[in-house]
Amino acid sequence: MKFVSDPHISVKIDQMKRRVRWQESAIKARAIAQTKLVVDDEDTDNPDFSFLVIGDSGCGSHLKHHPQRKIAEMMLQQESSRFVIHTGDVVYNVGSREYYHQNFIEPYREFLVGGEKPKQLEYNRLIFKAPFFPVPGNHDYYDLPLIYGILAQATWLPRRLLRGKINFDVGWHGSDTGDAYARAFLDYLLELKNKANLNQHLDRNYTAEHTGDRCLHYRPGKFTRLPNRYYTFRYGGIDFFALDSNTFNQPVVIPNTTEGDSRRAKLLTQQIQLEEKEQRIQIELDQLNPHNSDDAEKIDDYYAKLEHIAESQRDIAKQLNQEQQIIDWQQLDWFKASLIASWQDEAVRGRVVFFHHPPYVTEATKWNQGQTLAVRDRLRQVFNDAAHEIGAFPEGRSIVDLVLSGHAHCLEHLYTKNTGAADSHIDWLVCGGSGHSLRRQRQEGTVLFQNADFDAEPIGQSHLYLGRQGTGKNRKLPYSFLRIDVKAGDKPNFTVNPYVAEWHKQQWQEYAINPFII
């Protein structure tokens, strides 16, 4: 997948601002806060409620099975849940509008108005029956140069008929720097060219009030657009903060020192090793027959390995090719200010944050990536700055109650102890195993350390990990989603209920893991 490109962070920011007409005159004149929304739901003040969490789901059928659809069918059984949070990578492999029908609309058709006829739905005109709150993942931003789109289409039939080994879910187009995602989920104000139409739209759909600001009125079944790529809403006295981690995940610049030179040399060696591994896998793939069930299992395993390699190569490239440090401080400053305001509001009893890239994780390919460490560093900085202004927290409380993420293709529960920073004593849930190829846990173990060299004090622990297990006929693929039950109280209790659809020996097995309270 080397032909996939990740747009520059500054381009992502500028393009997304343009699409929502960020703070243009008509919006400023109405004092609209473009990062807030209010859900039209008579139950929004009920302190007892449930919500679902999924992530990294946006695939079509795998060889012999369709995990995303299976998870969607299980989610439909959770009728009491009030909304769905999606932690990103809504459509693989490059967030293309061509794949929204196959990789999003069709699997989740019962969640959509008009979903009984999914082929008639337009990806940029979707309306959800119940609230659906996504954040963009890295695949939702990926671009595909036209020449590669042409090559992908030219080789589609031969691959299908002669080999059929890997379906990359690639059409003519990439995401156009997240344009398909924006058209599917955001209030794409750029489409409203006529000033009168824009004014009418704002006066019709931005009529809600949240913490003193005029904002978007999210109406399930009628109008279910999001105001921005990052946003906040309140439900049951809990403030939810949705972030776009794709614009603050750039790895820290490697310094021009002896230590930095050693780091660069190590990365270059890893790069060569990955290329050699990729070549060996391609040779093995050429020997396999997708119509043989045993070979089909091996092909699926090799596909997962190739994806691991591609992601590792992109992360190494990000670390090596840095002309300047780009960080989305506008978003992070907004988040800091919003956290401070949340703690100053007596009506708020808890805080949940969700975004794509996990700051803490033990999945084999993500735990020590440059992007993982970068997101951890930037989030920690926001927490530290906010905590300094907030002052002392009530006994037994941390700056946020729960952090949700995806990106790592697994289900994991981690808890940080004393990190020496304001991200201490927090529960972190990684929910990235809802459809795409699953990943294994690292061999280095479940204890979290301050750095990747394991030469510091432990700062946390992984308490649950569910990902790819076994090999060959013993291989198990436990796909998953969460239902989180929130209970009343000044300090809310969150009961986490993991649900699993496991693919093993060409059959599905559904089960639930014992719930746990955080």
258-285 and 293-320 helices cross at what angle (nearest 10)?
Answer: 160
Burial class (CB in 10 A: 0-12, 13-18, 19+), 327: middle
Distances (CA, A) of 20 to 14, 35, 219, 440: 10, 11, 19, 38
Rounded CA-CA distance 351/226 in Å is 20
Residue indicated by tokens 């190829």: 437
Give the contacts of 498 (CB within 8 A, at least 6 positions apart).
411, 464, 466, 480, 481, 482, 512, 513, 515
CB atoms within 10 A of CB 300: 21
Q: Are strands 49-54 and 83-86 parallel, antiparallel or unpaired?
A: parallel
Q: Are strands 427-431 and 411-416 parallel, antiparallel or unpaired?
A: antiparallel
Q: What architecture is domain 9-252+325-517?
A: 4-Layer Sandwich (3.60)
Buried b (16+ CB within 10 A) or exposed e, 451-468: eeeeeeeebbebebbbbb
DSSP 31-96: TEEEEEEEE--TTTT-S-EEEEEE-S-----BTTB-HHHHHHHHHTT-TT--EEEE-S--STTT--
Rounded CA-CA distance 55/404 in Å is 10
pLDDT tens digits in sequence order for the chain, 518 residues long? 456 889 999 999 999 999 999 999 999 999 999 999 999 999 999 999 999 999 999 887 765 689 999 999 999 999 999 999 999 999 998 999 999 999 999 999 999 999 999 999 999 999 999 999 999 999 999 998 755 545 555 444 344 433 444 455 667 789 999 999 999 999 999 999 899 999 999 999 999 999 999 999 999 999 999 999 999 999 999 999 999 999 999 998 888 888 888 888 888 888 898 888 888 888 888 888 877 767 777 777 777 788 778 878 888 887 887 667 789 999 999 999 999 999 999 999 999 999 999 999 999 989 999 999 999 999 999 999 999 999 999 999 999 999 999 999 999 999 999 999 999 999 999 999 999 989 999 999 999 998 777 777 899 999 999 999 998 788 899 999 999 999 999 999 999 999 999 999 889 999 999 999 99
Q: What are the two backbone dihedrals, phi and then psi, of residue 433, each rounded to the nearest 5 degrees?
A: -120, 35
Rounded CA-CA distance 396/227 in Å is 34
Cβ distance 103 to 68 under 8 Å? yes
User: Could you tell me the two tokens for 166?
Assistant: 């890997």
Cβ distance 114 to 120 under 8 Å? yes
